[in-house]
Amino acid sequence: MKRFVVTAWIAVMCLPVLSACWNQKELTDLAFVMAIGVDKGKDKKFNVSFQIVIPGNVSLMQGGGGQGLPIAIYSSSGDTLTAAARSVTKKVSRRLYYAHTNLIVFSEEIAKNGILNIMDALDRDPEFRTTTQMVIMRGTPAEVLVSSLANLDKLPVNKITKEIKATEAMLGENMQINIDDFLAGLVSDGIEPVVNGFRVTGDIEMAGKAEDLQNTKTKAILAADGLAVFKKGKLIGWIEHEKARGVVWILNKVKSTDVNINWNGKKKAISMVTIRTKTMVSAKVKKGKPVIQIAIEDEGWISEANTDVDLTNPKEIEKIDKLVEEEIKKQILTTVKEAQKMKSDIFGFGERVHRKDPKLWKKIKSNWDEHFAELEVNVKVDSYTRREGIRTNPYWKDLKQ
């Protein structure tokens, strides 16, 4: 009898281990949402687009014999993001699954009106990853971006995320910004968030059409375009091109970029490509007012020298370094002035002031926008040429002779 009781007890103890998963979901019952687009609808509603992957077509494409499109787009509207997501189930035969969502797209119109009423749903849902990338669609609805197809990538959403990563690594005018990054800038004192912008140029009507992929040069071109500046959860303006690069530089997110300088009276004759860079931002108090110090250390190599210059001469290299330093400093100061016009501290200068002097910050915190607009910012750049490429002196010297 004792042996029976022991055996029964062991069997009972093993039941939890042998039991099945309580929330098991079959793959055939799930619709994997790869991207979400949010547009403004009628009667203050949201029009939400869902990019859903078609697994069968993607696997066929990987094997070289796929015929169908890799994605399907479904749209619905609602007073909230939750309502729109649940309403779309009337059109989809499977349960929407957000664990693989890599991109959330807001139209410019939605962003200008404010996205605070949308962000909570994205942050609260345990299934939705807050590492999802955020972008703002410029000039066209977010649905256009969500519906677009790509040549090089089987899943269109991968084109967007890889494009952001590539331009961050090579150009320095964009950077990866996810939901966590945006919310951190939104709720923190002394800093405002920025978001990557995207734009469709060319024949917008061809975006999302399979026949456009049959052209060697697509008619609808989708590309990263600037940084959206936010203030209190609303889009207030854009920073573009070299000014956008200045933002990335101040935030210490530049991995590589190019700096062009004039030489011998020729504009942009020499190109310096950054290989290593580090930005340090600090604050100090001068006569009762905060002052920001930006120090940049930059190392690069000369990728182009379209003029007669002696790259074996240390004095010439020193002159090049000084010109590069001046150019970087000019870009940084121009960027700061642009943000000061918008009165949006996207650099986190306020955070630095808070750390340096909490008492001063307590006094100016409520009116920081005005203080930021008049803030003294000093920039110091140290640039060093580490390599000149595989050629020492350019052939321009031989042509001159």
Query: What domains are defined for the chain?
Result: 25-239 (no CATH), 242-401 (3.30.300.210)
Whether the per-residue pLDDT at 63 is higher than 50: the answer is no
Interval 81-88 mean pLDDT: 90
pLDDT score, position 6: 57
Whether the per-residue pLDDT at 161 is higher than 60: the answer is yes
pLDDT score, position 391: 74
Residue 24 binned pLDDT confidence (cut-offs 50, 70, 90): low
Whether the per-residue pLDDT at 228 is higher than 50: the answer is yes
Residue 202 binned pLDDT confidence (cut-offs 50, 70, 90): confident
List, for residues 235-252, the tens digit of each pLDDT value: 999 999 999 999 999 999
pLDDT score, position 369: 93
pLDDT score, position 326: 96
pLDDT score, position 155: 84
Q: How far is CA 129 from CA 3, 20, 98, 180, 326, in A?
A: 51, 26, 8, 9, 42
pLDDT score, position 64: 46
Whether the per-residue pLDDT at 1 is higher than 70: the answer is no
Torsion of CA 234, 237, 243, 246, to 10 degrees: -10
Whether the per-residue pLDDT at 394 is higher than 90: the answer is no
